Amino acid sequence: MAKVILDAGHGGQEPGAVFNGRQEKDDTLRLALAVGEILKNNGVEVAYTRTEDVYDTPFEKAQIANQEGGDFLISFHRNSSPQANQYSGAETLVYDRSGKKVELAENINRNLEQAGFRDLGVKERPGLVILRRTRMPAVLVEAGFLNTQADNELFDSQFEAIAQAIADGVLETIGQGTEDQMQSQSQERLYRVQTGAFKRREYAEDLLYRLLSQNFPAYILREDDYYKVQVGAFRQLDNAVRMEEALRRQGYATFITM
């Protein structure tokens, strides 16, 4: 039986993002518990890093997860932007772009998009403790922006569908092919359009959010000590060239990489 660890972000004295009295720690716990119920009903073993309003540091949570052991870990969070109602959508964070966690992250994002969230993509965040200190493939889901009204309305009105979407992402990943098949998928050559490379993550994020606000499917790739901002991943070079043209029309400096 597959086993999944569910980590409700924040808790106790540490509320996470706060907006108009709404606290991230409450949304993350509610969502983790709902996803857990669905997974259990589908024959998946579930363990939680917390089921109550308590605080543990990310290090302690990673330790709880490692002691519990599991095939995957999902950490639940809600995003926050510098200003209210600035951004909208769901994204899933991974330590790096390798292995099964990327499949899981992509499956979750695709399903969340069907549940109504704008898909902000899968992003690398090698600095996050819960992603780097856990021994199982781990993803961190940012289920919309807590300081964006539209995302909160979606979160509340489509709560069951959102929980189902995340659970479906897990079930699809568990049921998906063999390790070998996944390896060959991840080694496939893809063309990507790069718009910038920065030593400092803040600069990369500024560019990322500008691209996302113009509806470009951008993400950050950490590689060779740089935060590289890239757009799309294409099997056909022609499609990468077309994306590059669209970006250049908006004034971005670009080149195609593999």
By the criterion CB under 5 A, which residues form the site for Zn ion?
9, 16, 77
CB burial readout 77-101, b (16+ within 10 A) else e:
bbbbeeeeeebbbbbbbbbebeebb
Give the E-state strand segments of the chain in sequence order: 3-8, 18-19, 22-23, 45-48, 72-79, 90-94, 119-124, 138-145, 191-198, 218-223, 226-234, 255-257
Instruction: Output the six-digit token pair for 253.
Output: 């400096």
Closer residue to Zn ion (CB): 23 or 109: 23
Closer residue to Zn ion (CB): 50 or 228: 50
Instruction: Output the six-digit token pair for 173.
Output: 């990943």
DSSP annotation of 11 reads B
Give the E-state strand segments of 80-128 in sequence order: 90-94, 119-124
CA nearest neighbour of 139 among 190, 164, 173: 173
CA nearest neighbour of 207 among 188, 226, 224, 229: 229
Could you tell me how many residues make up the chain? 258
Cα(26)–Cα(30) distance, integer angstroms: 6
Q: Least distance in Å: CB of 139 to Zn ion?
A: 14
Q: Least distance in Å: CB of 77 to Zn ion?
A: 3
Q: Least distance in Å: CB of 121 to Zn ion?
A: 18
Q: Least distance in Å: CB of 90 to Zn ion?
A: 13
CB atoms within 10 A of CB 255: 9
Instruction: Output the six-digit token pair for 68.
Output: 């519990």
Q: Least distance in Å: CB of 11 to Zn ion?
A: 10
Q: Least distance in Å: CB of 109 to Zn ion?
A: 17
DSSP annotation of 176 reads S
Q: Least distance in Å: CB of 48 to Zn ion?
A: 16
